[in-house]
Amino acid sequence: MRNDLSRAIRLLAAERSLPEDVVMQALEAAMIAAYRKTPEAWAQNVRIGVDPNTGESKVLAQLAVVEEVQDKRTQISLEDARKIDPDVEVGGLVEVDVTPDDFGRIAAQTAKQVILQRIREAEREVTYHTYADREGEIVQGTIQNMNPDGITVSLDKAEALLPRANQMPTERYTRNQRIRVYVQEVRKTPKGPEIIVSRTHKNMLRRLMELEVPEIFNGAVEIKAIAREAGSRSKVAVAARQEGVDPVGACVGIRGVRIQALVNELSGEKIDVVAWDPDPAVFIANALSPAQVTNVRLVEAPEGRTAEVVVPDRQLSLAIGKEGQNARLAAKLTGWRIDIKSESEAAEEAIRRIQEEARRAERLKELEAARALLAEAEAAEAGGVTEAVAADSEAEALEEVTEPAVPTPAEAVVEEAEAGGEAEPSAPVTPTGDEAAPGDEPAPPKKKPTLVDWQVLVQEEQQFDESGEPLPKKGKKKRKHRRLEYDEHLGEVVARKRRKPGREQERWQRDIERWRDWEDEEDWEEELDDFTDEEFADFLEYEEEEDEE
């Protein structure tokens, strides 16, 4: 019987590709589960023992030796334990045979499903560890089933999933077709291990080159970087780790035999093998092959690294590639953002950059000169303010002492304006004494009041009340604020009066230019008749400013 049990265990282990101890553990677990379902089961800690001579299985309960039994399922008295083992002491363990009657038939019926379940779990665990160790390698399988979600690939006693995203767009797959796939990921699921494979991963190209190129497999040539667009084109950067080895030539092979084998395996995908170089400029120039590069300028900024590449005009399209593919793969391969320009475009940009730098330098010089002039004007303005304040104080003092004894010219102008027309000349005053001079001519008739006379009239009317008494003197008139500005047309710093916020600056400048074109007072009088109150106020302010300047 022992031989039959051992033979059955070996056959089952060979059929399921499992170790014999795994099958034996599954058998023991099934027999323990069968024992617990029998009505006679009372022991808690049990194990299955197999007789090496007869092959008969027994259920053995492990009981702790104590002086006073409190739980019969786990304890046994010292007296009863010494009947089994005379040398046992308190605190030891003894095994008691608790095999039920007719246990073999019951165990066979009950343990069948348990054994199969344990064997399936063991198979899943072995499969997971087998392919988890092969993750990142190439395996060969057969297409078993195809559906919209992906393709089921049958591997060695396992199934893998080839998702649609991992399929090459230029390939057509058929049932029972043998293909090579790259093991991308292996993960555990409640239904067993799930194996994800790929045909588009860039490391698949790396593993294929290791299989086809012995120099890469033994370490004489190292693959530094790979950029791949599956089904269309790939770029591989290689470097030699031993002197005297041509890395590009080793990968291409004699007459391109090695690289052609890779192209056939990848269904016609083009593969460019370029030489890696520690100098980024040289590496970028090599990555853009087959285009020839004239110059490479590296620009490192916080937002990223950029390489400005200049190529001949006739090779600009070759460097960019179809739909920018060559430049895109070169950028992925090198890790730099590549900006490709022709020689003519680069020359125009260089000239434009030089001109901008020259204009910037000129503007800086003008700004420095304007700052110097502004500083001088501020210093002069500070000195002029002091002198003007002193002059205003002296003029106010003289006005308080001196009072007019005769009618002012403004009063005469008012009388003439009210009479309408020119006033009749008064009788000439005959000078007496030394004031009389022979040949004196009479005074000329007075002319029409001008704008200046109106301004004087307004200023003097504000100094008297309705009874003709002079108004009390107010405080000293504040000096009007001005600001210093640099006039580009004059090339110097000028002082300009601060305008009211509500006034339109363009309209004010336009009116000033029109007023400056008036050359005689007759034009002023003709234009003043059509002025509105607001325009007349602006004109008075302009005249006041011109007088002050």
pLDDT tens digits along 40-58: 777 777 787 766 566 677 7
Buried-exposed string 487-505: b where 16+ CB fall within 10 A, e elsewhere: eeeeeebeeeeeeeeeeee
Phi and psi at 158, nearest 5°, equal: -160, 160
Q: Where are the domains of the chain?
A: 2-128, 134-198, 212-346, 482-548
pLDDT at 406 > cutoff 70: no
Residues of the chain with pLDDT > 90, as a percent, come to: 34
Among 528, 388, 404, 507, residue whose Cα is nearest residue 460: 404
Residue 183: predicted pLDDT: 95
Per CATH, 2-128 and 212-346 having the same topology is answered no
Q: Which helix (H) or strand (E) holds 187?
A: strand 178-189
Residue 25: predicted pLDDT: 79
Kindly report, residue by residue over 137-193, the tens digit of the pLDDT.
Answer: 999 999 999 998 899 999 987 899 999 999 999 899 999 999 999 999 999 888 889
HSE, side-chain direction, 13 A CA sphere, residue 115: 17
Phi and psi at 48, nearest 5°, equal: -100, 125
The answer to which of 368-382, 466-480, 485-499 has the lowest mean pLDDT is: 466-480
Kindly report, residue by residue over 60-104, the tens digit of the pLDDT.
Answer: 888 888 877 787 777 788 777 777 878 778 878 887 777 777 666
CATH topology of domain 2-128: N Utilization Substance Protein A; Chain:P; domain 4 (3.30.1480)
Residue 215: both structure tokens together: 């120099």
Kindly report, residue by residue over 493-547, the tens digit of the pLDDT.
Answer: 666 665 554 455 566 666 666 666 655 555 556 666 666 666 666 666 766 666 6
Into which CATH architecture does domain 134-198 fall? Beta Barrel (2.40)
Q: How far apart are CA 459 and CA 411, in angstroms?
A: 12
Q: How many CB atoms lie within 10 A of CB 258?
A: 21
Q: How far apart are CA 43 and CA 82, in angstroms?
A: 19
Buried-exposed string 152-186: b where 16+ CB fall within 10 A, e elsewhere: bbebeebbbebeeebbbeeeeeeeeeebbbbbbeb
Give pTM, 2 decimals.
Answer: 0.55
Q: For the domain 212-346, what is the CATH code?
A: 3.30.300.20
The residue that leads in pLDDT, 379 or 18, is 379
Q: Which helix (H) or strand (E) holds 225?
A: strand 221-229
Q: How many CB atoms lie within 10 A of CB 297?
A: 13
Q: Which residues contact 50 (CB under 8 A, 6 or more apart)?
A: 2, 5, 56, 57, 58
